[in-house]
Amino acid sequence: MSTSTDKKLVIRCLQKILPTESVLHKEEDLRPYECDGLSAYQQVPMVVVLPETIKQIEDILSFCTNQTIPVVARGAGTGLSGGALPLENGILMSLARLSRIQNIDIDNRTARVQPGVRNLAISEAASSYGLYYAPDPSSQIACSIGGNVAENAGGVHCLKYGLTVHNILKLEVITMQGEHLTIGSDALDSPGYDLLALMTGSEGLLGVITEITVKLLPKPEAANVILAAFDDVATAGQAVSNIIADGILPAGLELMDNAALRAADDFVNAGYPRDAAAILLCEIDGTSAEVADRLEHAQNVLRTSGATEIRVAHDEQQRAKFWAGRKAAFPAVGRLSPDYYCMDGTIPRYQIANVLTRISELSNEYRLPIVNVFHAGDGNLHPLILYDANIDGELERTEELGGKILEICVEAGGTITGEHGVGMEKINQMCVQFNSMELQQFHAIKHAFDPDELLNPGKAIPTLHRCAEFGAMHVHHGQLPHPELERF
Amino acid sequence: MPDNNDKTEILCDQVLRACSSKTPLAIRSGNSKLFYGRDVQGEPLPLDEHNGILSYKASELVITARSGSRISDIESALDEHGQQLAFEPPCHSDQSTIGGAIACGLSGPARPFHGAARDFVLGAKIINGKGELMQFGGQVMKNVAGYDVSRLMVGAQGTLGVLLEISLKVLPKAEAETTLAFEIDAVEGHKMLRGWLIDGHPVTASCHYQGVLSVRLSSTENSISNAHRKMGGEVVANDLWQQLRHQSHPCFEQANLWRLSLPPAAVIHNEDDQLIEWGGALRWKVSNNDLFEQAQRLGGHATRYNINSSPAQENSSDEIFQPLQAGMLAIHKRIKHALDPNNILNPARLYKEL
Ligand SMILES: Cc1cc2nc3c(=O)[nH]c(=O)nc-3n(C[C@H](O)[C@H](O)[C@H](O)COP(=O)(O)OP(=O)(O)OC[C@H]3O[C@@H](n4cnc5c(N)ncnc54)[C@H](O)[C@@H]3O)c2cc1C
């Protein structure tokens, strides 16, 4: 049977499960799904399905298992690591149509939602009760809560309020084998293994998440932000450590370097000090009294840490303006260059100054500008490498530079990804971070859920074979970062 | 300089040998939580001598320690920098170790407000059931590379791996702490408490017992006195929270005690012998019958919790933990198999089948 008849058969079967218009198969209908937020990787899938019910999801998965067709789940497609990149011979299952907020439980302070619900929509729905959902990725107007769970998404506020894993209670999951699992509960803990933690950040490899119960928090009574300017990026990095060491836990602590703050200021007129080498935005929230006390405390630390200028937002409008610059930083940087590539390495805070220096050396070496705007409080870097995909070889050089930055992060005691996930993009760097036994352990866990490797295969966890090739390639260039690590 | 407190090699060897001879291992540390699970018949694998703090930098909010380190030693180190284990792990004796605390996954009074043991785990070095030494997670705040195997260890009670080293997030202690007491019944008390939580008062613990609601506030002095003004209540001593945390409160001495973990707003009855923590989400209750079904009906689960009794025998039909639904048990078994294929690590400690 030729592939085209194969495909026709698959379509016909799927049309028995779903309404005809929910099975996309024409080239022009498939195009919008060819990539997620990382557009450097593209692949049109065989078919896209748009289920609206749990039953349909179940039937699609069971059909795919019977026919050994791989499946990739997709939320809003804002992922930055190619996690939702389709497979040529596979089915892409978009969960965007499961977008109902099922229930907001005020007494228990929880919301039960379908996976396609947008992150921000939860806080909007809870707002009139004085509640909100804490994790706030910069993509929150678009990204789905299902995708957030699959990536363990973070945001500006996770230093104080935690990541997705800290803010969910319960998941409904369907495995490729058709099992329905209720993981976690409406109580704060559950018997048995912590499968809630295992599912969170598993990048759509273990099961399809069909419902999520999230915790809601009371909106803090007060919040304000300090903008501190520095004449040197390293000093700003040190100030971050000093704030934390002094017992302050800011709600957000973000760093922008000169290029980033200028771009943001040009874009949204945030009123930033344009000559500063770096600025820190330090948000304090809590009760009014707490905020007053801690603002004072934080300003003192920033001053003794060498800030050249300190501004406290004098009203809600100015606070919003300071944050608007940070929130618009990515699109603002997008205007500086035809393309940019966002990295996500995370390092211990005391290494910030050191790693930023090494990144700037690499930037010079590769003659590719790098802009830094990141979650400094968490040590979660987001170096943005500026490049032009239309210039021959520039994407390849960018990827190589990106890979090196991640290896520096691992060397500095950190990790290759803080919140964006491994996906397709960082799969080679997984061979740097983990040895073969650890990778095999990951595969064994995958098999406990998906023995036939049909759910998002080839993502997140590299095969040992792939690592062997990557290792060989690196030795060839003579720059193996961890020669002591066992390789295949 | 050789590090005499590093037993990694010896432990790996022992697991490796046990794996090839299929000998069950009984993982032991401070021995203070034997009651919390079923009895394990096996060759002892002692962890208490594998101890020591490996790194701690206050500015990082991270401490890494060997699993046999005593919690009291860890807390003194943190205390010097005004920091704490914010999940307030119960220590049933001064021998309690950090490995035991993480393996059991228990958390104290601050749990709904600061988070649970699992929320603070950043990374772990483990030996799996094949004797393989592996490291997951790390020492940074955020890390999504690979599955979260280190958090999977929390509450697994050693059945998935021998914990060797643990990296934990720590938090600064609040400037001040005050306890307010209110004479009120459980039902009305929890209504009031829910209102205070929505209002954003700096509540970090609650307890209702025998007609008194106690609430802990942790924040700056100013913030606490503001909250006190709005909430009312009588200022009392803070020592209740230590008794609850370490489960030395008289309530825990009762026979046939059950731990009920429920949605906080699950229906509350005014019962004198019931102690309620966690804003309603944790209830301690004496019962001669098992409460698994009742807890499940209310949306939570129950645990048999007899601190002074010996662990249930291997073959006992008395479950300690809420029985798992068939589908969940099946996936639990497959996960167990993925990490411990020969079933040698603390077999049957959690459930007969694992
Ligand atoms: C401008 C911009 C800013 C961003 N800022 C942040 C940030 O601050 N913090 C942050 O953490 N991320 C950020 N991201 C990345 C991205 O938004 C997050 O990773 C988000 O969680 C992805 O959600 P999504 O719905 O778009 O998922 P998708 O991209 O559609 O999918 C992501 C992964 O999840 C899987 N998946 C999706 N839904 C399900 C489901 N229901 N069941 C099982 N698997 C599923 C997919 O298979 C895929 O592997 C940003 C992205 C952009 C474009």
- Express each pLDDT in A110-126 by its tens digit: 999 999 999 999 999 99
Ligand 1 proximity of A208 Cβ (cutoff 6 Å): yes
Distance from CA of A192 to the nearest CA of B (A): 7
Phi, psi torsion values for B187, nearest 5 degrees: -65, -50
A13 pLDDT band (50/70/90 cuts)? Answer: very high
pLDDT in tens, A150-184: 999 998 899 999 999 999 999 999 999 999 999 99
Rg (alpha carbons) of chain A, rounded to whole number: 23
Q: Dump pLDDT digits (tens) for A454-474.
A: 999 999 999 999 998 887 554
Domain co-membership, B107 together with B193: no
Any domain includes A418:
yes
| pLDDT band, very low/low/confident/very high, at B1 (cuts 50, 70, 90) | low
Q: Is some CB atom of chain A closer than 8 A to the CB atom of B123? A: no
The answer to whether the beta carbons of residues A255 and A376 sit under 8 Å apart is yes
pLDDT at B272: 82
The reported pLDDT for the residue numbered B311 is 64
Q: Given CA atoms A395, A400, A405, A410 in this order, what sign does their dihedral have?
A: positive
Same domain, A408 and A444: no
CA distance A277 to A234: 9
Are both A465 and A410 inside the same structural domain? no
CA distance A355 to A255: 14
Q: What is the pLDDT of residues B225-246, one digit of tens each?
A: 999 999 999 999 999 999 999 9
Question: What is the residue-wise DSSP string for A211-264?
Answer: EEEEE-EEPPSEEEEEEEEESSHHHHHHHHHHHHHTT---SEEEEEEHHHHHHH
In a domain, A131, yes or no: yes
CB A420 within 8 A of CB A79: yes
Cα separation, B313 vs B328, in Å, equals 24
Q: Does ligand 1 have an atom closer than 6 angstroms to the CB of A72?
A: yes
- List beta partners, residue B219: B176
Tell me, yes or no, whether B311 lies in a domain: no
Q: How many CB atoms lie under 10 A from the CB of residue A277?
A: 16
Same domain, A125 and A211: yes
Question: Which CATH number do you get for residue A70?
Answer: 3.30.43.10
Closest CA to B51 of B131, B165, B168, B170: B165
Same domain, B152 and B12: yes
Q: Please tell me the distance from the alpha carbon of residue A215 to that of residue A211, in angstroms, as a whole number.
A: 13
In a domain, A105, yes or no: yes
What is the model's pLDDT at position A479?
43
Average pLDDT over chain B, rounded to an integer? 94
Neighbours of A289 (CB within 10 A): 20
- Domain match, B14 and B75 both: yes
**pLDDT tens sequence across A305-319:** 999 999 999 999 999
Q: Place B4 in a pLDDT band, splitting at 50, 70 and 90.
A: confident
**pLDDT per position as a tens digit, A47-70:** 999 999 999 999 999 999 999 999
Specify the DSSP element, H or E, that contains B133: strand B133-137
- What pLDDT, on a 0 to 100 scale, did the predictor assign at position A484? 43
Which of A151, A176, A199, A214 is the best mutation target for the ligand 1 pocket, counting ligand atoms within 8 Å of the beta carbon and taking the most? Answer: A151
Please answer whether residues A91 and A69 qualify as being in contact, where contact means their C-beta atoms are separated by less than 8 angstroms: yes
Strand ranges inside A119-216, DSSP E: 131-132, 168-174, 180-184, 208-215
Mean pLDDT of A369-390: 94
Cα(B160)–Cα(A444) distance, integer angstroms: 13
Nearest-CA residue for ligand 1 atom 52 is A139
In which element (H, E) is residue B205 found? Answer: strand B203-209
What residues in B contact A220, CB-CB < 8 Å?
200
> Would you say the CB of residue A402 lies under 6 angstroms from ligand 1?
no
Q: Do A292 and A384 fall into the same domain?
A: yes
A124 and A150, same domain (yes or no): yes
Strand, helix or coil for residue A190: coil
* Residue A475 reports pLDDT greater than 60: no
Report chain B residues whose CB lies below 8 A from the CB of A188. Answer: 111-112, 116, 261, 278, 281-282
* A488 pLDDT more than 80: no
What is the DSSP annotation of B83-129? EE-TT----SSTT-BHHHHHHHT---TTHHHH--HHHHEEEEEEE-T
Cβ neighbors of B96 (< 8 A, separation 6 or more) are B30, B32, B33, B70, B71, B72, B89, B90
The predicted model gives B249-278 an average pLDDT of 94
Residue pair B105/B116 in contact (Cβ under 8 Å)? The answer is yes
A155 Cβ inside 6 Å of ligand 1:
yes
| Boundaries of domain holding B217 | 176-304
Task: Give the whole-number percent of chain A exceeding pLDDT 70.
Answer: 95
Label residue A477 by pLDDT band (50, 70, 90): very low
Is A452 a domain residue? yes
Asked if the structure places residue A60 within a domain, the reply is yes
How many domains is chain B partitioned into structurally? Answer: 2
Other Cβ atoms less than 10 A from the Cβ of A456: the count is: 29
Q: Is the pLDDT of residue A322 over 90?
A: yes
B352 located within any domain: no
The candidate with the shortest Cα–Cα distance to B152, out of B338, B311, B349, is: B338
Give the helix/strand (H/E) hosting A28.
helix A27-30
CA A153/CA A37 separation, integer angstroms: 14
